[in-house]
Amino acid sequence: MNLNDLSLFIRVVETGSFTAAAESLNVQKSTISRRIAQLEDVLGIRLIQRTTRKLKLTSEGEELFSRAQPLVDDLEAVQDDISSSKTELRGRLRLTMPTEIGVFMMNEVISSFMHTYPRIEVDVELSTRTVDLIEEGVDLTFRLGPLPNSSLIARHVAGLHRGLFATPEYLEQFGLPSTPDDLARHQCITLLKPFDHLRFINWNNQEPITMGGRLRTNSLSFVREMILQNMGIGRLPEVFCGELVDSGRIIRVLGDYELEPLEINALYASRRNLNPRVRAFLDHMAERLNDHPWVQNKLVHLTG
């Protein structure tokens, strides 16, 4: 039995189609189809029932997948470790992340990574959109807030402490809120399609809080700019506006009430397909971010 053919079979099952497997591996669909057919010929059994609309495993295919997947995982992990230790890493690494994460948090990580691995090319898309890693050929994406249930592998990056902020001019005109319930009567700058609700750990059993206001955005940078324009009260990571607080340009409100931290996670498609470039970037990120002011919880190196 050819190990490469077996790996292709496992990838087809994991992605759910020949097309998705081909795109994720950057090979021709016809090549994968031919190699799976060769594997079936060697074994003398049909592994996959092919139809025009969907892919379905035979009982023999299901048994092979369940028994072979962990073995191939271990073998490829060993191969990646040995290869990356003997040769200089090269190739392209594709990343996506929200703008603020890229500009204020990952900027030094990416630049130092590229100096460390001069043969690796890096594509970075700064965007808040949800990326389909397999369909779009993205190696790693960073997401803010709670994660939906999915087959993606998540690695915790940071938990950001946040606060509510406004300018002295706005508070002079509209008054200082004394409890979280007062926010319903204020002009609040909120997020489009929010990834988490406004909750206080020490208020009303952590039930969501209603925020008033007419302005919404998908950018934390724009929230900060609109706060400075006296447009209302906005929620921001504390480290994102520390200098403005120190200078007195903005004031933290409701400081006695603790907001839930904002989680940042790195997501990738599969441990089995974690190539040496992604593994190297994740470990490099862990080293560089340990002392970063945005990181509240220390990162650990990737294992397994």
Task: For residue 215, give the CATH number of its domain.
Answer: 3.40.190.10
Question: What domain range includes position 110?
Answer: 91-160+262-289
Same domain, 136 and 279: yes
The residue out of 68, 86, 104 marking a domain boundary is: 86
- Region 80-100 average pLDDT: 75
Distances (CA, A) of 65 to 33, 57, 60, 89, 272: 17, 9, 9, 30, 13
Is the pTM above the cut of 0.75?
A: no
- Element at 75 (helix H, strand E): helix 59-86
- Picking from 41-45, 52-56, 245-249, 294-298, which range would have the lowest pLDDT averaged per residue? 294-298
pLDDT of the residue at 78? 62
Same domain, 63 and 190: no
Residue 302 has pLDDT above 60, yes or no: no
Percent over 90 (pLDDT), the chain: 32
Q: Is residue 149 predicted with pLDDT exceeding 70? A: no
Burial of 176 (0-12, 13-18, 19+ CB in 10 A): middle
pLDDT for the residue 284: 92
Give the pLDDT mean for 260-287.
82
- Looking at the structure, do residues 146 and 283 belong to the same domain, yes or no? yes
Asked if 128 and 268 sit in the same domain, the reply is yes
Average pLDDT over residues 95-124: 91
Q: In the predicted model, what is the mean pLDDT of residues 62-84?
A: 71
pLDDT in tens, 15-32: 778 888 887 777 788 888
Instruction: Mark whether 270 and 155 lie in a shared domain.
Output: yes
Evaluate whether residue 300 is within a structural domain.
no
- The mean predicted confidence, pLDDT, of the chain is 83
- For 236, list phi and psi in degrees, rounded to 5: -145, 155
Structure tokens at 296: 């509240």
Residues 6+ away with beta carbon under 8 Å from 162: 235, 236, 237, 238, 259, 260, 261, 262
Comparison of pLDDT for 151 and 64, the residue scoring more: 64
The number of domains in the chain is 3
